[in-house]
Amino acid sequence: MSVSDIKTGFSYKKLIVPAVLGLILVLLATLPVYTPSYTVVLMITILMYIILTVSWALFSGPTGYVSLAPSAFFGVGMYTAAILGKELHLAGMVIAGGLFSFVLALIIGAITLRLRGIYFAMFTFGLVVLIQQILLWWEITFTHTRGRFVIPVDNTTIYYIMLAIFVTLTLTVIFIRRSKYGLALQSIGQDEEAAAHSGVNVTLVKVFTFAISALFMGAVGAIVATRWTYIDPYIAFNPTFSFFPVLMSIFGGMGQLYGPYLGAAIFAYLEELLITNFEYYYMLIFGIIMVITIVFLPSGIVGLIQRWRMMKWWKGGLAKDDANT
């Protein structure tokens, strides 16, 4: 029995959500069969953003420690694909990308997560540019080339690997959320000192969760590299990719599990629509949406939905409180 099961008990209603999710999974798994290749490509992009966003929200959501470094881990994954792509089998390369990011995050976490959250934000903020510069210097000094090529892979394979990462991530997120670690993460975000005094090894939990979120960012970076095929320090380490997960999570809302998924899907689709015609304008619009969301809708769409449900509950009078999800 998981920790959260204890509260609500068991009922057949709880089978509806898994059933729907299972159906969605089947649809997604068979997607390439019944849709044109354009849709597969679109789904690859959407899945990429969802993975980045959900991984970010996995750690930064409950703990409140804002990581501004998703792009750094994403880039590490990409460079892993570029450097090890020839040596390793595709799946191995993806896992390697994830592992290198995992280790990097462990180191960063060990240094910064013992301190106040602002230092974590500060350190992660500069990471993207730092790694970019290290690689630039390296490429100028040692390899004498700018950028690398990555062996391309066909879209269907990319899609299935993305899907695999997506499913693994979702299962991980659900598991963590419903387990004692989810409880610990929440408590850290709400009162870290009290959590520590309740027996939670806060540093360990923070560092480990941060590393897990980085793992998925690295893995998805590795597979995306095979789509982009040419990468250099500027392409792989792009601050924009640090911005997207944050924007999408906050817009979607982090109070519920589905928030980041929703936010990512919406913005991924928006980006696809706008990028061809309005290259800088769409980023400008996203920036404006970010500010507006922080000011007017800090709990995101999820918050909006919850408020609407609360209002319905109030108006409905004695409706049972099943908002305990």
Residues near another protein (CB under 8 A) are 1-3, 6-7, 64, 66, 68, 111-112, 114-119, 121-123, 125-126, 129-130, 133-134, 136-137, 140, 180, 183-184, 186-187, 190-202, 239-240, 243, 246-247, 250, 280-281, 283-284, 286-291, 294-295, 298, 324
Query: Which residue's CB is nearer to another protein, number 29 or number 196?
Result: 196
Whether the Cβ atoms of residue 260 and residue 58 lie closer than 8 Å to each other: no
**Residue 199 vs 317, nearer CB to another protein:** 199
Q: Of 117 and 147, which CB lies nearer to another protein in the complex structure?
A: 117
**CA nearest neighbour of 129 among 201, 275, 236, 28:** 236
Show the DSSP H helices in 229-253 as ranges.
Answer: 233-236, 240-252
CB of 222 to another protein, least distance (A): 24
User: How many other C-beta atoms are found inside a 10 Å radius of the C-beta of residue 51?
Assistant: 26
- Cα(201)–Cα(209) distance, integer angstroms: 12
Q: How far apart are CA 70 and CA 318, in angstroms?
A: 45
Of 27 and 111, which CB lies nearer to another protein in the complex structure?
A: 111
Does the CA dihedral 87-91-92-96 come out positive or negative? Answer: positive
Please give the Cα distance from 40 to 160 (Å, whole number). Answer: 10
Please state the closest distance from residue 5 (CB atom) to another protein, in A.
9
Gap between the Cα atoms of 6 and 154, Å rounded: 46
Give the nearer residue to another protein in terms of CB position, either 45 or 203. Answer: 203
By beta-carbon proximity to another protein, the closer residue of 166 and 181 is 181
Contacts of 223 (CB under 8 A, 6+ apart): 77, 81, 94, 97, 153, 158, 161, 162, 165
Q: Which is nearer to another protein, 119 or 160 (CB)?
A: 119
| Amino acid (1-letter code) at residue 73 | F
> Token pair of 278, please?
């309005």
CB of 64 to another protein, least distance (A): 7
Q: How far is the CB of 265 from another protein (least distance, A)?
A: 20
CA nearest neighbour of 65 among 198, 211, 171: 211
Q: How far is the CB of 292 from another protein (least distance, A)?
A: 8
**Which amino acid would we find at residue 270?**
L
Tokens of 206: 């923070």
Q: How far is the CB of 287 from another protein (least distance, A)?
A: 4
